[in-house]
Amino acid sequence: MTSATADLPVHEPVEKSDIPSVDLVALFRESTVGDVLAELDHDLVGLTPVKTRIREIAAQLLVERARETLGIASGAPTLHMCFSGNPGTGKTTVALRMADVLFRLGYIRRKHLVSVTRDDLVGQYIGHTAPKTRDVLKRAMGGVLFIDEAYYLYRPENERDYGQEAIEILLQVMENQRSDLVVILAGYESRMETFFQSNPGFRSRIAHHVTFPDYDVAELIEIAEGMLARMHYRLDAEARAAFEEYLARRIRQPNFANARSVRNALDRARLRQASRIFADAMQGGGSSDTAALTLLSATDIRASRVFDTPPPRPV
């Protein structure tokens, strides 16, 4: 042994039992976050990348809680998020579940989500915007503020627009009170990207970007059947085939809004079914049984104007 190495201190091996530890599984169970994630899987069709991302965020926050119990926390995490995607892809629903996750893990003190748009934040004259924005922030404090179509806050083409004032107040609160408020911005992906380019202060405060994909036809059919089951309606084989064809046409038309458009289509089909059943009853003078009152027929589906257009060409 050289003199140099002889002077080095000799460390006794540390027993594993002497190292502070935390039971992550127990912490997970105590938080009951697993219940929320299970509900997310059960209640929402598809959205696999979204569900995976929410699980990743939940895992990160759970580990941060574990680090905190051991005195090695890295400071209050930034929790502000952006949910981008087309209408009807579940952004508001997932935001509600995210608020529940944050509450159960102790990152917000109220299981509370306030959903707003530009009209709730921006005033129409000088001195009107600041109190409107602060009132919304006051209502959301301690929970989650969900701003839908957030890009409408910024309208550079209008010199007299007061959206910039709301943006400045939001940015200040997002930075200074981030331990007591989580802000989730939502909207079309391309427009949100333009919004962030015009407002880099927002981008720097967003920790998590979650992209919501469109549903395919099979997923939309599953969503439709779930909606119908909850309302005590059903499709027979012929009506299901008609609705699949309806969706194949509708998703290629303008303003298609995924699950929202499915709900609207079913509402119109129910209206046509009711008119058909009533007309049959008036002509026949008879009553309708449960089977008739719960079935949406192919006729009810195919009466839609969507079928007036030529079918889509095979891809």
CATH number assigned to the domain comprising residue 51: 3.40.50.300
Mean pLDDT of 304-315: 74
Average pLDDT, the chain: 88
pLDDT at 9: 56
Does residue 256 share a domain with residue 273?
yes
Mean pLDDT of 40-69: 91
Domain that holds residue 24: 20-212
Asked whether residue 1 is assigned to any structural domain, the reply reads no
Give percent of the chain above pLDDT 70. 91
Does residue 143 share a domain with residue 122?
yes
| Residue 4 predicted with pLDDT over 80 | no
Band of residue 31 on the pLDDT scale cut at 50, 70, 90: confident
Asked whether residue 9 is assigned to any structural domain, the reply reads no
Question: Which pLDDT tens digit goes with each residue over 192-226?
Answer: 999 999 888 888 899 999 999 999 999 999 999 99
Does residue 100 share a domain with residue 144?
yes
Band of residue 168 on the pLDDT scale cut at 50, 70, 90: very high
Asked whether residue 314 is assigned to any structural domain, the reply reads no
Band of residue 281 on the pLDDT scale cut at 50, 70, 90: confident
Q: Which residue has the higher pLDDT, 313 or 233?
A: 233
Asked whether residue 263 is assigned to any structural domain, the reply reads yes
Q: How many domains does the chain have?
A: 2
pLDDT at 6: 53
Does residue 252 share a domain with residue 199?
no
| Residue 26 predicted with pLDDT over 80 | yes
pLDDT at 12: 57
SS3 string of the chain?
CCHHHHCCCCCCCCCHHHCCCCCHHHHHHHHCHHHHHHHHHHHCCCCHHHHHHHHHHHHHHHHHHHHHHCCCCCCCCCCCEEEEECCCCCHHHHHHHHHHHHHHCCCCCCCCEEEECHHHHCCCCCCCHHHHHHHHHHHHCCCEEEEECHHHHCCCCCCCCCHHHHHHHHHHHHHHCCCCCEEEEEECHHHHHHHHHHCHHHHHHCCEEEEECCCCHHHHHHHHHHHHHHCCCEECHHHHHHHHHHHHHHCCCCCCCCHHHHHHHHHHHHHHHHHHHHHHHHHHCCCCCHHHHHEECHHHHHCCHHHHCCCCCCC
| Residue 228 predicted with pLDDT over 70 | yes
Asked whether residue 7 is assigned to any structural domain, the reply reads no
pLDDT at 308: 83
pLDDT at 264: 96
